[in-house]
Amino acid sequence: MNWVIVLLLVSGSAWAGEARPMGDNPAIEARLKQLASELRCLVCQNQTLADSNAPQAEDLRREVREMIAQNMSDQEIIDFLVSRYGDFVLYRPPFKPTTVLLWAGPFVLMVGGGVALAVTLRRRQHMIREAMMTEDDRRRVEQLLSQRSKES
């Protein structure tokens, strides 16, 4: 029994003596995870940097981890990546002349759809009003109804 305790103590101290890899620092890992979920893996384009197992994504995660360890702000890290890989690396592209359609497109479609809906509804209302009975119609209806009551 004693030797087990000795072994545990020895292995414990051996472990404590080792330098902790940066991947073990929970604060860095948390920031990395949050940043990497905003960044695109360029090899597997529909995955985030956080999800991807591609070697290039691992390299980029290592790079980001080191920048976090150097106390760089999120914006500085993102600028670093954008200066190399372009806006494409961002899952949330910035609002620029080239991305106007991307950002404004859905709202333009929504407004367009709303206008089309309003126009259609108004036109339909107009059609219903037109279908209302005129005085002639009313007289004819009354005439027909009275005819029928006489017949019965």
Q: Which of 86, 94, 106, 114 binds other proteins (CB under 8 A)?
A: 86
As a whole number of angstroms, the distance between CA 15 and CA 19 comes to 9
Copy the structure tokens of residue 72. Answer: 């760089």
As a whole number of angstroms, the distance between CA 31 and CA 77 comes to 11
The 23-42 site mask, x for binding other proteins (CB under 8 A), equals: -------------------x
As a whole number of angstroms, the distance between CA 37 and CA 92 comes to 11
Q: How far is the CB of 138 from other proteins (least distance, A)?
A: 33
Q: Are 104 and 95 a contacting pair, CB within 8 Å?
A: no
- Nearest residue (CB) to other proteins, 28 versus 44: 44
Q: Which of 36, 49, 60, 67 binds other proteins (CB under 8 A)?
A: 60
- Nearest residue (CB) to other proteins, 8 versus 91: 91
Q: Which of 34, 56, 125, 143 binds other proteins (CB under 8 A)?
A: 56
Q: Which of 45, 134, 149, 152 binds other proteins (CB under 8 A)?
A: 45
Give 152's DSSP letter: -
Give 20's DSSP letter: P
As a whole number of angstroms, the distance between CA 89 and CA 73 comes to 17
- Nearest residue (CB) to other proteins, 87 versus 142: 87
Q: Which of 29, 38, 63, 74 binds other proteins (CB under 8 A)?
A: 63
As a whole number of angstroms, the distance between CA 63 and CA 65 comes to 5
> One-letter amino acid identity for 2?
N
| 119 near other proteins, judged by CB under 8 A | no
Per CB under 8 A, residues contacting other proteins are 42-43, 45, 55-56, 59-60, 63, 82-86, 88
